[in-house]
């Protein structure tokens, strides 16, 4: 444990940021899974709604530096192509 007051505060700040980052990354992964499930179920309307939410959270993760831009673009592209291919 740190002895200096500013170091103690830094530890708290880092812990809070780590928790928030983990939460956002988990939300992105869950959104992707939900969208894939909707696509497999053939629910196009729900899949389109989930796709919009997923893209929003992926972009938010990129802006915070949690996901690389190319990775995010690839994920969004693959999901949108799956939704477009639905009948």
Domain that holds residue 56: 28-87
Is residue 49 included in any domain, yes or no? yes
Is residue 14 included in any domain, yes or no? no
DSSP string, 33-80: HHHHHHHHHT-HHHHHHHHHHHHHHHHHHHHTTSS-HHHHHHHHHHHH
Is residue 87 scored above 80 in pLDDT?
no
Is residue 43 included in any domain, yes or no? yes
User: Which pLDDT band holds residue 50 (cuts at 50, 70, 90)?
Assistant: very high
Cα-based distances in Å from 70 to 5, 31, 58, 59? 40, 18, 11, 11
Supply angle C-alpha 41, 78, 44, rounded to 5.
30
Is residue 44 included in any domain, yes or no? yes
What is the tally of structural domains in the chain? 1
Task: Quick: pLDDT tens for 4-48.
Answer: 999 999 999 999 999 999 999 999 999 999 999 999 999 999 999
Is residue 9 included in any domain, yes or no? no
Is residue 2 scored above 80 in pLDDT?
yes
Show the tokens assigned to 21: 């980052």
Is residue 39 included in any domain, yes or no? yes
Is residue 76 included in any domain, yes or no? yes
């Amino acid at each position: 444990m740190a002895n200096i007051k500013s170091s103690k505060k830094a530890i708290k700040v880092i812990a809070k940021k780590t928790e928030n980052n983990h939460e956002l990354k988990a939300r992105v992964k869950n959104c992707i899974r939900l969208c894939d499930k909707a696509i497999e179920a053939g629910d196009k309307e729900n899949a389109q709604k989930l796709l919009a939410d997923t893209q929003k959270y992926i972009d938010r993760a990129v802006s915070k530096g949690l996901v690389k831009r190319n990775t995010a673009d690839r994920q969004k592209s693959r999901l949108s192509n799956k939704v477009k291919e639905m009948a």
